[in-house]
Structure 1
Amino acid sequence: MAYVILNLVCVAALVGIDQAIKLWAIQYLAPVEAITVIPHVVELRFVLNQGMAFSLLSGKQLFLILATSAALLLVAYLLFFRSRGKLLQQIAFILVLAGGIGNLIDRVLNGEVVDYINPLFIDFAVFNFADILVCVGVALWVLVILLEEVEDKPSKEQ
């Protein structure tokens, strides 16, 4: 039971941080549109995204809500029933779940996601904390899969 509670607390804390940052962006960043953080490198820019990454599927809110919900149910199942004793995998699923929930909240309540991190050194989409959680979580998940493959291969000496 402590395992489930710890996971829920971690997910809730990350979702709370995401939503707090987005609330700040709506209240303080939206009126000024952009704040330079590091000149020519990164700025905070208020953007409302009706799609997903790179504005893909823009305007397809019902599909995005349903697809995201289904994916998050799968990740929650993997977190609570398949990652016990596998810390790196557990962290990966917590990050993906929290980021997905953070953006799903925006999509359900507002029909669009608040983005605010704009790297200036490349022509790239504006993104947010939840997007970072999902990307880092997926990268960790891939690492876990690769490490499991390495461990499962029998050594050539045998």
Structure 2
Amino acid sequence: MAFVIFNLLCVAALIGADQAIKAWAVSVLQPVGAMPLIPHVVELRFVLNQGMAFSLLSGKQLFLIIATSAALLLVAYWLFFRSRNNRLQQAALILVLGGGIGNLIDRVLNGEVVDYINVLFMRFAVFNFADICVCVGVALWVLVIFLEELHEDSAKEQ
């Protein structure tokens, strides 16, 4: 039971942080449009994104909501039923679930996602905290899979 409560609290904390930052972006950043964070490196720029990464599937809200919901249900299943003995996998799934739900809330309530981090030193999409959570979580999950395969291969050799 403590495992489930801990996971739920972690996911809720990520969702809360994401929604709080987005509320700040709407109230403070939207009126000014943009402001420097680290001059010539990163700025905070208010953008509404109707699609997913790089505005792909823009305008396909119902599809994005259904696909995201289905993917998040699978992630939740893995988190609560398959990651009990692997803390790195647990962290990865918490990040994916928290970030995914954060963006899903925007998409369901507003039909678009609030983005606000703009990298200036290269051409890249404007993104948000939830996107960072999902990307870091997926990268960690890939690492977990790689390490498990490496462990299985070394176990077979012995």
- Does the alignment pair 1:57 with 2:57? yes
- For 1:155 and 1:51, how far apart are their aligned partners in 2? 44
Deviation of 1:155 after TM superposition, in Å, equals 5.9
- For 1:157 and 1:42, how far apart are their aligned partners in 2? 48
- For 2:157 and 2:76, how far apart are their aligned partners in 1? 39
TM-score (norm 2): 0.98
- For 1:99 and 1:20, how far apart are their aligned partners in 2? 13
- Does the alignment pair 1:3 with 2:9? no
Deviation of 1:154 after TM superposition, in Å, equals 3.5
Q: Give the corresponding residue for 2:131.
A: 131
- For 2:116 and 2:53, how far apart are their aligned partners in 1? 13
Q: Give the corresponding residue for 1:74.
A: 74
Post-superposition Cα deviations, 1:53-101, rounded to whole Å, max 9, x if no partner, equal 0000000000000000000000000000000021000000000000000
- For 2:148 and 2:139, how far apart are their aligned partners in 1? 14
- For 2:47 and 2:114, how far apart are their aligned partners in 1? 6
- For 1:89 and 1:69, how far apart are their aligned partners in 2? 20
- For 2:157 and 2:118, how far apart are their aligned partners in 1? 51
The AA in structure 1 aligned to 2:109 is: L
What percentage of aligned pairs have identical amino acids? Answer: 79
Deviation of 1:157 after TM superposition, in Å, equals 6.3
Q: 1 or 2, which has the higher helix percentage?
A: 2
Q: Give the corresponding residue for 1:14.
A: 14
- For 1:94 and 1:41, how far apart are their aligned partners in 2? 29
Q: Give the corresponding residue for 2:109.
A: 109
Cα RMSD of the aligned pairs, angstroms, is: 1.1
- Count matched residues: 158
Paired residues for 1:87-106 under 5 Å: 87-106=87-106
The AA in structure 2 aligned to 1:137 is: G
Q: Which runs of 5+ in 2 are unaligned?
A: none
SS in 2 for 1:115: strand
Post-superposition Cα deviations, 1:34-66, rounded to whole Å, max 9, x if no partner, equal 011111100000000000000000000000000
Q: Give the corresponding residue for 2:38.
A: 38
Post-superposition Cα deviations, 1:88-116, rounded to whole Å, max 9, x if no partner, equal 00000000000000000000000000000
- For 1:123 and 1:64, how far apart are their aligned partners in 2? 25
Q: Give the corresponding residue for 2:141.
A: 141
Q: Runs of 4+ in structure 1 displaced over 2 angstroms?
A: 154-158
